[in-house]
């Protein structure tokens, strides 16, 4: 049986998105449970072009904080056991869905991910430009999320993408290394996706140098050997640094010579010699870089001119970003942690409390519940539900009744993550029933997060006590049934669910 999958496509609204969706719709093979489009535009001014397609398309708002955060928002909005990721500028061939299904069927029990194969069409009648060669590097890139399928369990085990990587540069290598370190394998599949070369401005090579700051974070997180383990080429950073340093020395020595020329002629001559030598080294380094980029290309006037002026600036851009990464790495490592997950009580918190309810038709969401949950999803924060259901122990409900009500809640409020519920009564002495910590610990385990990083949101003191017993933070959202002493004892009290989520995101 083919494993079911969700397909997540983060997008900033590029025109290429429609070509991707059309190709998916026209293909053959099992459809995804959902095509989750993560609308990551800071201020969406129009709907995404997906309303008339024979695909199960769902649009979720992204946090507009980079591809890692957008992908987290996407995979956490689904439920299927596998999550396939595509970039919004690729074109899957007609057999892509069928090939993906075959890749997932072959996956072993410890296969945490299956990588697709990327093909970059290059001009057949001329040599590729520097930018085209850069994009073509995706063909050999390991774990590129332009076409990657992850087992949901593996994503949950490592917490998904690290949102401290704000650019589409190293977030995929970081995730792959963490998945392997957690004991999973990453296989290479047979499916192929086409990645046309997108248009780019003349200064694209300079803007790409911002990734040098992410390399500093990668070394801090994964050690010196991260490049070899992730299959990332060494790059030119040491040569860039030497060329930039030579340029700085040349300018500094010339400036010092101008100051000393009248007072100390011998020192001025020495500074002139230093300036000339450094300038020669800078010129040699710049010329070598420019030729290395010009020689393989079409050598048109426009390409040569672009390579020349960007090669003058590139060593300084690369070194500047690397130094900025060194300066900021401690701040990035200790960035204030948003909640690892938010665990909600069910009755009285997410839905109106109907005692011992086993009837899905009586489910009524609490005011602002959907809006609060959508904000968490857009922020990429996973959720779960922790709920006492003692009606099962009292014989008033069956486990099937509870599951049907839970299913109805997800129909109304969207996917909520793992459901951890306790069927025991107050006198059964179990370790799961709140105020015991069992449900909180179970939900955190299923999400693959540390309980200490979780927040429990509930409406009574037992929810607060269960959070504290598990080492988690608690936010009380009172209702008429909340006792005054419970409100007084709670460390944090919110007006409603929207206020509770606002507190969590503000921090």
Q: Which residues are catalytic?
A: 345, 347
Residues 454, 473 contacting (CB under 8 angstroms): yes
Residues 321, 213 contacting (CB under 8 angstroms): yes
HEC secondary structure over 382-416 = CEEEEEECCCCCCCCCCHHHHHHHHHHHHHHHCCC
Residue 199 per-residue DSSP state = P
Whole-Å CA distances, 92 to 17, 51, 132, 196? 11, 19, 19, 11
Residue whose token pair is 């009285």: 348
Q: How far apart are CA 478 and CA 487, in angstroms?
A: 7
Q: Where are the alpha helices (DSSP H) in 40-87?
A: 67-75
- 311's enclosing H/E stretch is helix 301-333
CA 222 to chain CA mean position, Å: 18
Whole-Å CA distances, 434 to 146, 274, 383, 466? 43, 74, 18, 5
Residues 456, 466 contacting (CB under 8 angstroms): yes
Torsion of CA 490, 494, 495, 499, to 10 degrees: -170
Q: How far apart are CA 226 and CA 388, in angstroms?
A: 45
A 10 A CB-CB count for 483 gives: 11
The tokens describing 427, both together, are 């006198």
**CB-side neighbour CA atoms (13 Å) of 349:** 27
Q: How far apart are CA 187 and CA 170, in angstroms?
A: 19
Q: How far apart are CA 383 and CA 444, in angstroms?
A: 9
Residues with Cβ within 8 Å of 253's Cβ and at least 6 positions away in sequence, in order, are 271, 272, 274, 275, 278
Torsion of CA 368, 369, 371, 374, to 10 degrees: 170
Residues 131, 167 contacting (CB under 8 angstroms): no
Residues 91, 194 contacting (CB under 8 angstroms): yes
Residue whose token pair is 């290429």: 16
Residues 11, 74 contacting (CB under 8 angstroms): no
Backbone angles phi, psi at 36, to 5 degrees: -95, 105
């Amino acid at each position: 049986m083919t494993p079911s999958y969700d397909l997540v496509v983060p997008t900033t609204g590029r025109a290429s998105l429609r070509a991707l969706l059309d190709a998916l719709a026209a293909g053959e093979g099992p459809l995804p449970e959902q095509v989750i489009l993560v609308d990551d535009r800071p201020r969406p001014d129009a709907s995404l072009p997906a309303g008339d397609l024979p695909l199960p398309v769902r649009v979720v708002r992204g946090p507009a904080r980079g591809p890692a955060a957008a992908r987290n928002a996407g995979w956490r909005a689904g439920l299927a056991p596998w999550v396939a990721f595509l970039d919004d500028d690729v074109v899957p061939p007609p057999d892509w869905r069928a090939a993906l299904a075959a890749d997932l069927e072959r996956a072993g029990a410890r296969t945490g991910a299956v990588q697709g194969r990327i093909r970059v069409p290059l001009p057949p009648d001329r040599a590729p430009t520097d930018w085209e060669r850069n994009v073509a590097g995706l063909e050999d890139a390991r774990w590129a999320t332009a076409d990657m399928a992850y087992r949901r369990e593996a994503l949950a085990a490592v917490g998904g993408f690290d949102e401290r990587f704000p650019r589409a540069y190293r977030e995929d290598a970081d995730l792959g290394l963490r998945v392997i370190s957690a004991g999973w394998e990453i296989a290479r599949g047979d499916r192929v996706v086409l990645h046309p070369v997108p248009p780019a401005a003349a200064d694209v090579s300079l803007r790409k140098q911002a990734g040098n700051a992410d390399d500093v974070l990668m070394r801090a997180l994964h050690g010196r050997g991260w490049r070899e383990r992730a299959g990332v080429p060494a790059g030119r950073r040491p040569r860039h640094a030497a060329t930039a340093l030579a340029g700085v020395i040349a300018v500094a020595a010339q400036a010092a010579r101008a100051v000393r020329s009248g007072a100390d002629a011998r020192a001025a001559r020495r500074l002139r010699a230093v300036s000339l030598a450094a300038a020669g080294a800078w010129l040699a380094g710049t010329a070598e870089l420019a030729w290395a980029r010009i020689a393989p290309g079409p050598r048109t006037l426009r390409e040569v001119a672009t390579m020349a002026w960007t090669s003058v600036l590139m060593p300084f851009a690369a070194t500047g970003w690397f130094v900025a990464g060194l300066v900021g790495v401690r701040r990035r490592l200790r960035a204030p942690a948003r909640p690892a997950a938010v665990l909600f009580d069910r009755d009285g918190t997410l839905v109106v409390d109907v005692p011992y309810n086993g009837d899905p038709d009586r489910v009524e969401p609490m005011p602002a519940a959907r809006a609060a949950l959508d904000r968490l999803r857009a922020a990429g924060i996973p959720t779960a539900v922790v709920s006492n259901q003692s009606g099962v122990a009292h014989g008033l409900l069956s486990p099937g009744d509870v599951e049907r009500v839970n299913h109805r809640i997800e129909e109304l409020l969207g996917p909520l993550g793992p459901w951890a519920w306790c069927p025991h009564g107050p006198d059964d002495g179990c370790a799961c029933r709140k105020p015991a910590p069992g449900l909180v610990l179970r939900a955190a385990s299923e999400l693959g997060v540390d309980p200490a990083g979780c927040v429990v949101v509930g409406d009574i003191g037992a929810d607060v006590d269960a959070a504290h017993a598990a080492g988690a933070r608690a936010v009380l959202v009172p209702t008429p049934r909340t006792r005054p002493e419970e409100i007084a004892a709670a460390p944090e009290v919110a007006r409603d669910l929207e206020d509770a989520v606002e507190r969590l995101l503000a921090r």
